[in-house]
Amino acid sequence: MNKNELTIVMAGDGGVGKSCITIRYVKQIFHDHYDPTLEESYRTQVEIDNSVVTLDIIDTAGQEEFKVLRDTHLSQGDGYILVFSIIEKSGLDEIEKLRGQILRFHDIDPTEPNTNPPFPIMIAGNKSDLEEYREVPTETAKQMADQWGLPYIETSAKNGTNISELYAECVRMVRKYKKGPTTDTPNTEIKTEIKTQPKQIPKEKSSCCLIL
């Protein structure tokens, strides 16, 4: 892979807003009803800190029936963004499980203290616009992230809060780990390509990304 091309893997439980976050970032729109597919891959070119980078954003399915495909991507990212919803406390358990899976895929024991993987993992608490329904206090999520030495940021795909910052920080961290280029590059038009697997989630098991 070209050093100016990075793969970012989005992972989290179903319905937490992974797809909504990604679409907000690459298309600058919000889908209040989103019918998730088996997998989507977004390719977009952006400029971050005066350096152009092409991002392949893998939006993984949160449903258990697609675990095998998701696990494949969990072993292939340059950086990872683990997403939960601040209005669903149970999402924290999935974040812990996903972190452990990612580390084990890279032959790292997640139970070891001071684990420092050679790639960035970020935690995003989505749906911050639904503060009145919050089940996960900011401090609780931050303490969990601090325990693992991971950055934590709260986002809203609906109003765009911290969406650009989330991806920009992930790219900065990947560059730091890879010691990638940071030299100035001329401004480049943003280009986006979306690839979607044709198979849809069966109707009886489909869910929507709904952020009110």
Identify whether 36 is part of a domain: yes
Q: What 3-state DSSP class applies to 23?
A: helix
Residue 161 in any domain: the answer is yes
Residue 68 lies in a domain: yes
Whether residue 144 is contained in a domain is answered as yes
88: CATH: 3.40.50.300
The proportion of the chain whose per-residue pLDDT surpasses 70, expressed as a percent, equals 75
Which domain range does residue 11 map to? 5-205
Query: What's the confidence (pLDDT) of residue 163?
Result: 97
The CB density around residue 57, as the number of other CB atoms within 10 Å, is 26
Q: What is the pLDDT of residue 186?
A: 37
pLDDT tier at 33, thresholds 50, 70, 90: low
Confirm if 74 and 58 have CB atoms less than 8 A apart: no
Residues 125-150 have pLDDT tens digits of: 999 999 999 999 999 999 999 999 99
Inside any domain, residue 158? yes
The tally of domains found in the chain comes to 1
Whether residue 60 is predicted with pLDDT greater than 80 in this model: the reply is: yes
pTM (predicted TM-score)? 0.80
Q: What is the DSSP string of 80-129?
A: EEEEEETT-TTHHHHHHHHHHHHHHHTT--TTSTT---SS-EEEEEE-TT
212 lies in a domain?
no
Residue 186 domain flag: yes
Residue 182 counted as domain residue: yes
Mean pLDDT of all residues in 92-117: 88
Among the listed ranges 56-65, 103-112, 203-212, which one has the minimum average pLDDT value?
203-212
What is the mean predicted confidence (pLDDT) over 62-74?
Answer: 60
